[in-house]
């Protein structure tokens, strides 16, 4: 109890980051500041990381669906213009995914600090 005061860290009333309640992360010593999805109270770096990982998953899901569609329709003489549009969209999604991966890498570094 006294230790916190001596360290000059957050007061006792400040709850801690609850990231250890998710399967992918260990304990975190930072104070919980952001309510993630209305459930977990997490620190800012972990909130940023969780959001990025979720966005990556969403984009990955859409690439997966486009791949499936292309596999089913790509050789069946589907409308070329439409096919082209889907392929273009897929490329854009992959580009976005690369970007998000970079952001996730730096967010992970931030979390470890
Ligand atoms: Zn945290």
Q: CA-CA distance, 45 to 104, in Å (whole number)?
A: 11
Residue-wise pLDDT tens digits, 42-100: 999 999 999 999 999 999 999 999 999 999 887 766 788 989 999 999 999 999 999 99
pLDDT for position 73: 85
Question: Vertex 97, ends 93 and 101: CA angle to 5°?
Answer: 175
**Ligand 1 geometric centre to CA of 58 (Å):** 23
Q: What is the mean pLDDT of residues 19-43?
A: 86
Q: What is the mean pLDDT of residues 9-25?
A: 73
pLDDT for position 9: 52
pLDDT for position 21: 73
Residue 90 near residue 66, CB atoms below 8 Å: yes
pLDDT for position 24: 65
pLDDT for position 1: 41
pLDDT for position 4: 45
Q: Which residue has the higher pLDDT, 96 or 5?
A: 96
Q: Which residue has the higher pLDDT, 78 or 33?
A: 33
Q: Residue 16 CA to chain centroid, in angstroms?
A: 21
**Ligand 1 geometric centre to CA of 5 (Å):** 21
**Ligand 1 geometric centre to CA of 19 (Å):** 6
pLDDT for position 113: 79
**Ligand 1 geometric centre to CA of 107 (Å):** 11
Both tokens assigned to 13:
């009333």
């Amino acid at each position: 109890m006294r230790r916190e005061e001596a360290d000059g860290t957050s007061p006792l009333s400040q709850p801690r980051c609850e990231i250890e309640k998710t399967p992918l992360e260990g304990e975190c010593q930072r104070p919980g500041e952001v309510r993630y999805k209305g459930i977990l109270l997490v620190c800012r770096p972990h909130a940023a990381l969780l959001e990025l990982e979720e966005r990556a998953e969403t984009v990955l899901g859409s690439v997966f669906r486009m791949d499936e569609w292309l596999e089913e329709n790509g050789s069946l003489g589907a409308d070329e213009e439409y096919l082209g549009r889907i392929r273009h969209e897929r490329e854009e999604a992959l580009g976005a995914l690369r970007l998000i991966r970079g952001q996730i890498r730096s967010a992970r570094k931030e979390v470890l600090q």
